[in-house]
Amino acid sequence: MTSKVKKGSMTGMSVKSGDKRPTKKGAGMTAKGVAKYRRQNPGSKLQTAVTEDKPTSKKRVARRKSFCARSAGQMKKFPKAAKNPNSRLRQARRRWKC
């Protein structure tokens, strides 16, 4: 019997399976995790983080700007995570260079 994963769900994604980075390595999803998510959710456009200092394409610049704006909202919504420098939120923002 196979387990059904709810569409759009991050259930089954873990650091141990290599789908997510540990917080010490910048949090966020790995390329393997993104590929797994896209297989489970056909039509998904999920991509890995924009980590370069100066992205060359305007799309990547826009993705970073959008992520930073969204995650800034999460910082307001979750003040406990915002105060903790080792939270997944703060580490992901550091990785994206927000």
Structure token pair of residue 19: 């789908």
Say whether pLDDT at 34 is over 80: yes
Q: What is the pLDDT of residues 18-29, one digit of tens each?
A: 888 898 888 889
* pTM higher than the cut 0.85: no
- Let me know the angle formed at the C-alpha of 18 by 17 and 22, rounded to the nearest 5 degrees: 110
Give burial (CB, 10 Å; 0-12/13-18/19+) of 29.
buried
Q: CA 25 → CA 11, 28, 46, 88, 95, distances in Å?
A: 21, 9, 20, 10, 8
The Cα–Cα gap between 65 and 34 comes to 20
